[in-house]
């Protein structure tokens, strides 16, 4: 006879901050779990900016990238508006083939120095989502570059050309929060903002239509499953989970 061990409860994320920067690989990445948390934070008066490394132009099989790109950018801007985010930037890297390395670290560092956030939000960049469900290569490359680029942003001797561009070092990032990591240890209550998070994902209408019968196209069911699972470990109805990487 075996006894299953209950998962450890989540710790609550701190909310004594004012500015955050969310950097992810694709449009829709934030909407699969983090958007409801972002809606909560903007409702509190916090300022959050979105940065998409790609425009998700390879994400719809039946639509050529040049036609897909503006559509997905427009959907992301509307999705951000729904959760109270009015600044969305696209870095223009090619979707599906993002490479981790010095150029991407430099670009992340530049963005961090420009916006000077206290918290940086990204997506899960572990190899899997838990079990055998493999993560996607762009997610892994971008998340790694975010952690390293945030550290680089505080060091004036790394990428000195950024200082020449007028971007002074910024070492004020307290932590990087990776949403949806299988090693999450923290979470935030999203019960009041769950419906807003659902609406923000539904704004990616063309992308969701392109998924066909994929489980991720069943928006409310998919988000509810994740939200309830996280909430059960936080002691709330719904929650959004994050792995915390302290900086400083």
The CATH number of whichever domain residue 125 belongs to comes to 3.40.50.10320
**10-14, 33-37, 206-210, 227-231: segment of lowest average pLDDT:** 206-210
Query: Residue 220 falls within a domain, yes or no?
Result: yes
CB 58 within 8 A of CB 95: yes
Specify the number of domains making up the chain.
1
- Which residue's entry shows tokens 């299953």? 4
pLDDT at 7: 87
Residue 18, domain extent: 14-242
Whether the pLDDT of residue 1 is over 60: the answer is no
**115-124, 170-179, 213-222: segment of lowest average pLDDT:** 213-222
Residues 209-245 as b/e (b if ≥16 CB within 10 A, e otherwise) read ebbeeeeeeebeebbeebbeebbbbbebebbbbbbbb
Nearest alpha carbon to residue 30 among 65, 76, 64: 76
Query: Residue 90 falls within a domain, yes or no?
Result: yes
**pLDDT mean over 237-245:** 98
Query: Residue 3 falls within a domain, yes or no?
Result: no
Residue 193 per-residue DSSP state: G
State pLDDT tens for residues 182-232: 999 999 999 999 999 999 999 999 999 988 767 665 889 999 999 999 999
Query: Residue 141 falls within a domain, yes or no?
Result: yes
State pLDDT tens for residues 132-161: 899 999 999 999 999 999 999 999 999 999
In sign, the C-alpha dihedral spanning 26, 29, 35, 41 is negative
Query: Residue 157 falls within a domain, yes or no?
Result: yes
Phi-psi region of 28 (alpha: psi -120 to 50; beta: other; left: phi over 0): left
DSSP E strands, 17-131? 19-24, 47-54, 88-93, 119-123
Query: Residue 205 falls within a domain, yes or no?
Result: yes
Query: Residue 55 falls within a domain, yes or no?
Result: yes
pLDDT at 216: 66
CB 170 within 8 A of CB 114: no
By the 10 Å C-beta count (0-12 exposed, 13-18 middle, 19+ buried), 45 is classed as exposed
pLDDT at 120: 99
Per DSSP, the residues of 196-217 read HHHHHHHT-HHHHHHHTT-GGG
Paired sense of beta strands 119-123 and 88-93, if any: unpaired
pLDDT at 13: 98
Rounded CA gap, 50 and 213, in Å?
A: 29
Query: Residue 2 falls within a domain, yes or no?
Result: no
Rounded CA gap, 75 and 59, in Å?
A: 13
């Amino acid at each position: 006879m075996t006894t299953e061990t209950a998962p450890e409860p989540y710790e609550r994320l701190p909310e004594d901050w004012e500015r955050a920067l969310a950097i992810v690989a694709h449009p829709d990445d934030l909407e699969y779990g983090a958007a409801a948390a972002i809606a909560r934070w903007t409702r509190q008066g916090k300022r959050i900016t979105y940065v998409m490394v790609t425009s998700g132009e390879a994400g719809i099989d039946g639509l050529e990238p040049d036609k897909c790109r503006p559509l997905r950018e427009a959907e992301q801007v509307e999705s951000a508006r729904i959760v109270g985010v009015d600044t969305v930037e696209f870095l223009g890297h090619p979707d599906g083939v993002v490479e981790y390395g010095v150029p991407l670290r430099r670009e992340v560092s530049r963005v961090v120095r420009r916006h000077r956030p206290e918290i940086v939000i990204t997506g899960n960049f572990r190899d899997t989502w838990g079990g055998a469900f493999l993560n996607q290569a762009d997610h892994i490359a971008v998340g790694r570059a975010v952690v390293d680029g945030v550290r680089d942003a505080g060091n004036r001797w790394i990428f000195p050309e950024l200082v020449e561009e007028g971007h002074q070092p910024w070492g004020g990032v307290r932590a990087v929060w990776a949403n949806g990591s299988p090693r999450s240890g923290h979470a935030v209550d999203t019960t009041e903002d769950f419906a807003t998070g659902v609406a923000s994902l539904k704004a990616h209408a063309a992308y969701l239509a392109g998924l066909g019968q994929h489980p991720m196209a069943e928006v409310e069911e998919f988000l509810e499953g994740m939200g309830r699972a996280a909430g059960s470990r936080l002691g709330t109805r719904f929650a959004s989970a994050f792995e915390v990487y302290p900086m400083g």
